[in-house]
Amino acid sequence: MKKNLSFYLTGSILTAITVMLLVGAVTVSGSLYHCFDAYFAETKIEAEDEILLTYRYAKANGIAVGDTMELAGKTFRVCGLGMKPDYAIMLREFPDSVPDKDGFGIGI
C-alpha cells in the first residue's frame, strides 16, 4: 500500500507541475505574442514595400534600418528590427540543433 501511495503522490505532483508550466507558458506567450510591435529600431510598417526583420538575422547579415533588400522579385525597405518570442531560437527545421542566424530569419 505504501508503494502505491508514493507512486500516486509522485504522479500527482508531476502532473500538477506540468499543468503549472503549461499554464505559465500559455500566459507568457499570450502576453508576449505582440512583442514584435515593440521595435528595437525605427518606425512602424506603413507601406507595402516596407519590411520588419528579426534583429539577429539583420545583424548577422549586415542589414540596417533603411537598407533595401529583394525578396521574391520585390524590393523592400527595412523599416525596423525586432524579435519574435515564439522564435527565440531561430531553427529553420524542427530537427536542427543549431540556430542559423546568417541564413534564416523572419520578415513581416
Can you give the pLDDT of all 108 residues of the chain as single tens digits?
A: 556 667 677 778 888 888 777 776 656 555 544 554 445 555 667 788 888 887 878 888 899 989 999 988 999 999 888 776 555 555 556 565 555 556 666 665
Residue 44 sits in the same domain as residue 8 = no
In 1-94, which ranges are continuous DSSP H helix?
2-32, 55-60
Helix (H) or strand (E) holding 61: none
Residue 43 sits in the same domain as residue 95 = yes
Question: Rounded to an integer, what distance in angstroms lies between the CA atom of residue 99 and that of residue 28?
Answer: 23
Residue 73 sits in the same domain as residue 104 = yes
Q: How many domains does the chain have?
A: 2
Q: Estimate to the nearest angstrom the gap between the alpha carbon of 43 and the chain centroid.
A: 20
* Residue located via cell numbers 542566424: 101
Residue 19 sits in the same domain as residue 53 = no
Residue span of the structural domain in which 20 resides:
1-33
* Cβ count within 10 A of residue 72: 5
- Say what the pLDDT of residue 32 is: 46
Residue 82 sits in the same domain as residue 104 = yes
Question: Rounded to an integer, what distance in angstroms lies between the CA atom of residue 51 and that of residue 45?
Answer: 7
